[in-house]
Every structure is written in structure tokens, then in C-alpha cells.
Structure 1
Amino acid sequence: MLVLGIEAATPVAAVAVVQGERVLAERMVNNQRTHSVNLLPMIKAVLEDARVAREDLGGIAVSSGPGSFTGLRIGMATAKTLAQVWGLPIVGISTLDALAYPLTGQGGLICPILNARKDEVYAAVYRTVEGKLERLEGPMAVRPEELVRRFEPLELPVTLLGDGVPIYGEFFKKQLGSRVFLAPGSAMWPRGAPVAELGYRLLMAGEGEDPLELLPNYIRLSEAEVKWLQKQKG
């Protein structure tokens, strides 16, 4: 099965086409341009790079959060529109799962952290068990101090990755010392290929959804929603 993967939940825009677990083509940009400008040209280009026509696709996978509210909306709207127009099933893939997945097999804990603003990170904690990545905790919106408290009793090395690392990486190293490892730059950002590959597995298991039914996983309310609720209470 050929699957198109779309990642737009962070400042990075990424697109890939996989055939099963084989990556045929992938593009990624971190150029600070809005995803509404980047995504459609990238999708067109990656299909051409893979020499795949839209009629050949078996489904679409899209990063479903957590992450930037604006980026998620753009990515989800793009993926759902294409799936509906092309008549394809769609699956949502956790942004944190997609970040951690390429580090499957690494010892210790794997913890993607995304900048959630308000002095919080979106995070989840993973460990490789019998060759497969297992989520131990999350996804959650949590203060870095609280995440440190959760790591302390585990006494295991922790690999951090994600766009929260440039902001909070040194804090975690100071708190946890030599137990903390920061992923290299090439593994730091979300990519389209893990989204597509994880999507392929769900689609093969029959878990594809109608595009109209797929919803993002924001983890917490947006600022606009918080203000609206406060206004209603007032």
C-alpha cells in the first residue's frame, strides 16, 4: 500500500510517500514560512519524486497533535480535503509518536517535548520493549519541573528531542545531569516518513477513518477557547 504522510504540527512542514515500510520520497522544510504556503507544493513534488499518481495511493496519514494550533489546523484541513476529494481513508498519528518512532531500539527512555508555551511542554515518555516502541506515559501538557519529578525515580537515561529542546534542554541537563541526552539535529524534528509509516500500519489494520470524522488532539484548550469559557462563566 502507498501512503502519503503529512506533518504540520510544529514549525516544520514535512511530507513523505511510503510503500509499506519503504520510503519512496520525502521533503522537509524549516523555513518559517506558513504551512499553507509550503504544504501543497511539497505534496505535489513528493508524489512526483516518488513517481506516484494520486490514484495509486491507498490512504493518507496526518500528524494529529499535539502541537501548534495553527499548524495542526492547516495540516489536518489539507489532509482531510485531499482524502475526501481523492476518496481515500485517513488516519491521525500522534505528533509525539511520530517523533519517538525513529529512535525505536535505543536504550533508556525516549521523551519528545514540544513547546506548548505558557511555560509548559507537550510530552510523552516511551521505551523500547521487545523491539517495539511502547508509550509509558502521555501525551500530556506539563511544566518541565513536573516532568523532571516524573523522571527522577525511574533512574534511567533519557533522550530528549523536539522543538522544546532548544528552549528547555539545558534545564533538563542541569536537573538530571548525565542521564539526559539530546538527540542530534537530524533526529530532532518531526518528519513525514514516520507519520506515513505509522499510518500504513493503521490502514493495513483497517483503522482508516472517514475524513469528516478525524479530529485533532490538542491536549489542552486554545487561548481563544479559554477566553470564551471565562466569558461564559462571567
Structure 2
Amino acid sequence: MKILALETSAKSVSVAVTEDGVLLAQSYQNRGLTHSVTLMPLLDAMLQSAGLTLDDIGLVAVTHGPGSFTGLRIGVSAAKGLAWAKGLPCCGVSTLAAMAYGIGDFNGLIVGAMDARRQQVYNALFKAENGRIIRLCDDRAVSCEYVAQELRDAYPSENDILIVGDGAELLYKHLQAFGIPCRMASPLHRYQSAAGAALAAEALAAQGRLCSAQELQPVYLRLSQAERERLAKGLPLTAE
């Protein structure tokens, strides 16, 4: 089955098609342009250059969070529209899991770290073992100190710790301060990519963890700035 994946959770935007774990096509752009403007032309150009159409696709996947609220909404909305148009199932993929699956040939502990601002990172831990990616905790928004303490206390014997994500440099400094042996993934593999999302979706599909276009929703992990301001004023999260 060919899987079409979209990735719009941060500054870059990418699209990819995989089949049985093999990357057939991918297009990536990181020029700071608006995702709502670049996503669909990028997708159309990739499909055309690969000699594919949406009729060849069996599943639409998208990183549904964590990440930029606006970026996630754009990606999820596009995935829903594509799936609805062709009657295809969907797969919402954790952005952190997608980065773990995008690493490739590696055995050890993968630490996802996306800059969540307010001195926090979006984080999850994964064990890469002989081509398998094993999730060790749920996605969460935590401080770098929290991650460092957890790695020190819960995984003291790990000697190959790889950090991925746009928060890698920030977290790396904290782990170094705690004396934790670690390294950052190379820039080519450190950031979000649709190829990783497609590989993660393939694993989820094998477990039957798919959804309809109607059910697909972003996963933000925490409230938006506007929602936090409404709560601070004692107002409901949604206007009546």
C-alpha cells in the first residue's frame, strides 16, 4: 500500500510517498514561506515528478502534533480534504514519533525534543532496536531539566543517546550539564520529515490504528496563548 504523508508541524514543510517501508518520493522545503501557500503545490509537483496520482494512494498520513498550532491545522485540514475526496483512511502520527522513525539505521535511545517555548520542550523517548521503534513514554511538554533527570535516573546504562528535533541543541546543553552521554542527530536527520511520518504511519496501520477523515484531529498537548489568556481572565475556553 502506498502511503502519502504530509508534514507541516514546524518551519519546514514536506510531503512523501512510501510503499512497504521504501521511500518512493519526497519533497521538502524550508524557506520560511507560509505552509498554506506551499503545501499543495509541493504535493502536486512531487506526485507529477514521481508519475503518481492520488488514485495510487491507499492511506493519507499527517503529523498531527505536537507542533505549531497553525502548521498542524494546515496539515491536518489538507489531509482530511485529500482523504475525503478519495474516500481514503487517515493516520494521525505523533511528530516526535515521525522523527524517531526517520533516523534510519540506529540502535539506542532516541530523545525527541521540539522547542515548546516557555523553557519547555515537547518530548518523548523511544528505543531503536534492530529496525524497530519502541515508544517508552507519551508525548509531553516538560522542562529540559525534567528530561535530564529522567534519563539519569531511569536509563543510567544507556550509552548511545541520540537527540532529534528543533529543540535538540537546547536539550543537549542540559544533558551535558548533567553528565549524560549523548549526541545530536546530523542536521539532515534531526528535523521533521514526511518520510518519517509515512514510516510511522505504516507501523500504526499494521496495528489497525487508523481513523476516518472526520475523526482526524490535531493534538496540541497544551492550550494556545489565546486560551491561556481566556482562562487567566476567568473566561470559558470558547465564546458562547
- TM-score (norm: length of structure 2): 0.90
Which residue does 1:43 correspond to in 2? 43
* Structure 1: gaps spanning 5 or more residues: none
Greater shift in the superposed pair: 204-213 or 140-149: 204-213
Task: Give every structure 1 segment of 4 or more consecutive aligned residues whose post-TM-superposition deviation is greater than 4 Å.
Answer: none
Q: Is the 8 A contact 2:7 2:193 kept in 1?
A: yes
C-alpha root-mean-square deviation of aligned residues, in Å?
1.9
Q: Take 1:81 and 1:222, find their aligned partners in 2: how far apart are those partners?
A: 24
Which residue does 2:196 correspond to in 1? 194
Secondary structure of 1:215's counterpart equals coil
Q: Take 1:202 and 1:171, find their aligned partners in 2: how far apart are those partners?
A: 32
From 174, 183, 186, give the equivalent of 1:184: 186
Q: Is the 8 A contact 2:102 2:195 kept in 1?
A: no
Q: Take 1:16 and 1:105, find their aligned partners in 2: how far apart are those partners?
A: 19
Q: Take 1:184 and 1:172, find their aligned partners in 2: how far apart are those partners?
A: 17
Which residue does 1:220 correspond to in 2? 222
Secondary structure of 1:55's counterpart equals helix
Equivalent pairs: percent with the same residue?
Answer: 34
Q: CA deviation at 1:127?
A: 1.0
Change (3 A) 1:223 1:166: same
Q: Take 2:191 and 2:222, find their aligned partners in 1: how far apart are those partners?
A: 22
Structure in which a larger fraction of residues adopt helix:
1
Greater shift in the superposed pair: 130-139 or 118-127: 130-139
Which residue does 2:234 correspond to in 1? 232
Q: CA deviation at 1:213?
A: 1.0
Q: Is the 8 A contact 2:95 2:192 kept in 1?
A: yes
Q: Take 1:116 and 1:29, find their aligned partners in 2: how far apart are those partners?
A: 22
Matches within 5 A, 1:57-206: 57-103=57-103, 106-129=106-129, 131-153=131-153, 154-155=155-156, 156-157=158-159, 158-177=161-180, 179-203=181-205, 205-206=207-208
Q: Take 2:213 and 2:202, find their aligned partners in 1: how far apart are those partners?
A: 16
Letter in 2 for 1:50: A
Q: Is the 8 A contact 1:148 1:176 kept in 2?
A: no
- Number of residue pairs the alignment of both structures matches: 233
* Structure 2: gaps spanning 5 or more residues: none
Q: Is the 8 A contact 2:98 2:199 kept in 1?
A: no
Secondary structure of 1:176's counterpart equals coil
- TM-score (norm: length of structure 1): 0.92
